[in-house]
């Protein structure tokens, strides 16, 4: 199965994202840098990968031309965006880690984030480019709140 070898490539390289697009080589994001594969993906390969990911939702995708889903493959979970661009399929997979790291694991200022997590009002903005850890930081804060407080 083609998708399996690309997911294994992600794992071997420690990639956060996998980019697949018809008539382009597969690419991965490692530490903010894009690494391209060697061989371009054919329309048939992309349709096969799309079918593997979507299963019974494939018809909806071909009608709506865009879809965001969660996808489980073996013991891994991914956020997946499927789309059409210039009439061809594109797919982006981002692994969702099952372990939620602590502030210390992330080398973040724990005391500041703990204080922010105690606030019952206001707004905190976590910003940055794709793949820099925004979702992981928020997950870490929510885990801290869940472990230490009885509110939400």
For residue 102, being part of any structural domain is answered with no
For residue 124, being part of any structural domain is answered with yes
For residue 140, being part of any structural domain is answered with yes
Neighbour order of strands in the sheet with 76-85: 33-36, 27-30, 17-21, 88-96, 76-85, 66-73
87 and 17 within one domain:
yes
User: How many domains is the chain built from?
Assistant: 2
- Note down the domain range covering 140: 110-148
90 and 19 within one domain:
yes
Q: Alpha helices, DSSP H only, in 19-100?
A: 43-54, 58-64
For residue 35, being part of any structural domain is answered with yes
The pLDDT tens digits of the residues spanning 102-135 come to 888 888 888 888 888 888 888 889 898 877 788 8
80 and 52 within one domain:
yes
Q: Tell which residue, 37, 43, 7, has the closest CA to residue 23.
A: 43
Q: Is 0.95 topped by the overall pTM?
A: no
70 and 9 within one domain:
yes
For residue 103, being part of any structural domain is answered with no
8 and 75 within one domain:
yes
Kindly state the percentage of the chain with pLDDT values over 70. Answer: 98
pLDDT at position 152 over 70: no
């Amino acid at each position: 199965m083609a998708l399996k070898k690309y997911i294994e490539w992600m794992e071997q390289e420690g990639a956060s994202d996998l980019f697949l697009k018809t008539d382009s080589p597969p690419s991965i994001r490692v530490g903010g840098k894009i690494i391209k594969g060697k061989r371009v993906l054919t329309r048939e390969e992309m349709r096969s990968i799309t079918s593997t990911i979507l299963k019974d939702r494939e018809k909806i995708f071909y009608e709506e031309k865009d879809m965001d889903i969660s996808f489980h493959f073996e013991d891994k979970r991914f956020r997946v965006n499927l789309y059409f661009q210039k009439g061809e399929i594109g797919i982006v997979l981002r692994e969702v880690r099952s372990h939620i790291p602590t502030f210390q694991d992330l080398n973040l200022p724990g005391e500041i984030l703990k204080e922010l997590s105690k606030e019952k009002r206001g707004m905190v903005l976590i910003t940055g480019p794709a793949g820099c850890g925004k979702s992981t930081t928020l997950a870490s804060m929510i885990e801290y709140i869940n472990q230490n407080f009885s509110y939400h």
